[in-house]
Amino acid sequence: MYSVLGWLNAGILMILLSPFLLNFLNKHIIKTKSNGFRDLIKIFRRFHKPLGVALAILAPIHGYMALGGFRLHTGTLLYLSAFATAALGGSFYMLKKRVLFQWHKRIAAVTVVLLLIHIFFPSALFYLFR
């Protein structure tokens, strides 16, 4: 069951990244002025905040189920990075300071790298600190 929850979390994270990725593709590769494409980006943006909250709740449940408790693991680092991303995004939403949004995007990139490490090398920290 924990693996299903883990893949659900990974899917949620990909949906959370969709507005940025689609916007980037539209600006640099596709370059369309289509209203349909913009509407798709708006749909993903509408779900961005609720899915961020869902990820913040479901990720520690996945970790607890997988490890039988809370331990230092690549998933722990991934969760801390996702939480920092959410905190910066929430701070930007409240304060409207551009620097917070820039850091929100930077830490989101770190989160994606940590997700890949967590998926492909889940015990990396164990081997590093052994």
Q: Could you give the angle at the alpha carbon of 87 between the alpha carbons of 17 and 65, nearest 5°?
A: 75
Query: Tokens standing for 100?
Result: 């917070």
Domain of residue 33, residue span = 2-128
Residues 79 and 59 sit within 8 Å (Cβ to Cβ): yes
Residues 33 and 44 sit within 8 Å (Cβ to Cβ): no
pLDDT (tens digit, 9 = 90+) per residue, 54-93? 998 999 999 999 998 888 899 999 999 999 999 999 999 9
What was the pLDDT predicted at 128?
86
b/e code 19-32 from CB counts within 10 Å (16+ = b): bbebeeebeeeeee
Query: Tokens standing for 18?
Result: 């969709």
Q: How many domains, in total, are found in the chain?
A: 1
Q: 0.95 cut: is pTM over it?
A: no
Kind plus residue range of the DSSP H or E element containing 81: helix 74-95
pLDDT (tens digit, 9 = 90+) per residue, 34-52? 888 889 999 999 999 999 9
For CA atoms 46, 88, 76, 125, give the dihedral sign.
positive
Average pLDDT over residues 15-37: 88
Percent of the chain with pLDDT over 70: 100
